[in-house]
Amino acid sequence: MRTYIADIEKFEDGMEVTVQGWIQEMRKIKNLMFIIVRDNTGIIQITVKKGSIPNYDELYEITRESVISVNGLLNKKSISRSGTEILASNIEILSIADTPLPLGVIDRVSADFDTRLNNRFLDLRKPEHLIIFKFESQLLFGIREYMNRENFIEVHTPKIVGAATEGGADLFGVEYFEKKAYLNQSPQLYKEMLISSGFDKVFEVGPAFRAEKENTVRHLNEFTSIDMEAAFIDDKKAMEYLERAISYAVNRTIDIMGTDLDRLEYHIDRLEPPFPRITYEESLKYLNNQGLKLSFGDDFSPEANKILAQKFKGFYFITGWPTDMRPFYTHPDTNPRLTKSFDLQLADIEVTSGAQRIHNYRMLEENFMKKGLNKNDFEFYEKAFKYGMPPHAGWGLGLERLVMNLLGLNNVRESTLFPRDRTRLSP
């Protein structure tokens, strides 16, 4: 039976174990060799003496990153660095790696990010990269757990849609038999329709596509969006759900894998809601006091966001964005120039955008006009507002951006397995 390398510490000296994994490293001294085997949980030294296994000579010639299955006795009094080794009695070669590797897994030379992405399967063998996705998995599990406890229904809405909706963002066109279709930029309209359906609280985790020709370290053309929408709540309540979901998920993940994260130099702090809040207009005033020249209606440049990040550290909300800066479905505040909207920032990056939504049919129609949208494109959506739509609010959270910033990564592609950006379509 296979044992994961991390579990070996629980075993007693002299026990028989089987580990399976990749040959990370070999040190060969003619009649003796040391093989460092790696699996998804760790590494261990395998000690092989000539004569101790039948296929010694064959194994002596094997290449790094080949896959083997090792059976042997545990020696916990080894002089190896970890103090533990397996004295192999049988080693089965399962797969032989070609040489040279297009990218060294443990080589003492760096590789360009482009080279790493071109050979992502090898790049992800590095524990410091693998753990980003273990982290993401745990984080998402925590968010799901929180949402479930709050009685949200997880849903799946179409990613192929018929109309280029929402205005603003460019969409990717696709051929859909004899019709023109698009890859959806967000589940926004569908979430809202489900609110009309009486689902009450919905959330979705899925891909979102944006055909924007960006070339930055924080944009992708395909990313994972965690979207939520709930009936009979306002923007304030939506913010509460958000900060609680994130705090719960982060704290839970630290409990589960905090020591692993620390060991690989990812340092992350526990969170305590509520997160600080600042209004758009207050931010504007603050930024102008810091020497910027921003007027009402201006978006915050990366420079502005960095200044705000210094003030707040960690997470903070910017609330009350101007109407002109928000999509047509955003609910206005009592001051019609402002909306009941918010962004959640982590360091200098926006990770969530949310708001209370318009639920009044007439108001929605007016907004199509104001934003220069063709209401015919939205008929399927608008209909859901005509026959009983409760007030509602929600948000969309960018998973890769969240992970990127929590772990202090410098590029959103680092927290994306196979990123799709302006030029990259493979692997």
| Touching RNA, residues 99-128 (CB under 7 A) | 99-104, 107-115
CA pair distance 119, 408, nearest whole angstrom: 23
- For RNA, the binding residues in 201-220 under the rule CB under 7 A are 210, 212-220
Q: How far is the CB of 190 from RNA (least distance, A)?
A: 15
Looking at 180-301, list the stretches that DSSP marks H as alpha helix, in order from N- to C-terminal side.
188-196, 235-263, 280-289
Cβ–Cβ < 8 Å for 183, 209: yes
The 8-class DSSP code of residue 19 comes to E
Q: How far is the CB of 326 from RNA (least distance, A)?
A: 8
- For RNA, the binding residues in 15-44 under the rule CB under 7 A are 25, 27-32, 34
- For RNA, the binding residues in 295-334 under the rule CB under 7 A are 299, 301-303, 305, 325
Q: Where does this chain touch RNA (CB under 7 A) — which range of 150-158, 244-252, 268-276, 392-400?
A: 392-400
CA pair distance 48, 19, nearest whole angstrom: 14
CA distances from 38 to 28, 48, 203, 256, 312 (A): 18, 16, 38, 21, 41
Interaction of residue 178 with RNA, rule CB under 7 A: no
Q: How far is the CB of 362 from RNA (least distance, A)?
A: 25
Q: How far is the CB of 227 from RNA (least distance, A)?
A: 9
Query: What is the side-by-side strand order in the sheet with 160-161?
Result: 160-161, 179-183, 173-176
- For RNA, the binding residues in 344-363 under the rule CB under 7 A are 349-353
Q: How far is the CB of 386 from RNA (least distance, A)?
A: 26
With respect to RNA, which residue has the nearer C-beta, 217 or 256? 217
CA pair distance 278, 321, nearest whole angstrom: 11
Interaction of residue 1 with RNA, rule CB under 7 A: no
With respect to RNA, which residue has the nearer C-beta, 338 or 412? 412
With respect to RNA, which residue has the nearer C-beta, 66 or 257? 66
Selection from 241, 206, 239, 207 nearest residue 222 by Cα: 207
Q: Who contacts 231 (Cβ-Cβ below 8 Å, separation ≥6)?
A: 195, 198, 199, 200, 201, 390, 391, 392
With respect to RNA, which residue has the nearer C-beta, 72 or 142? 72
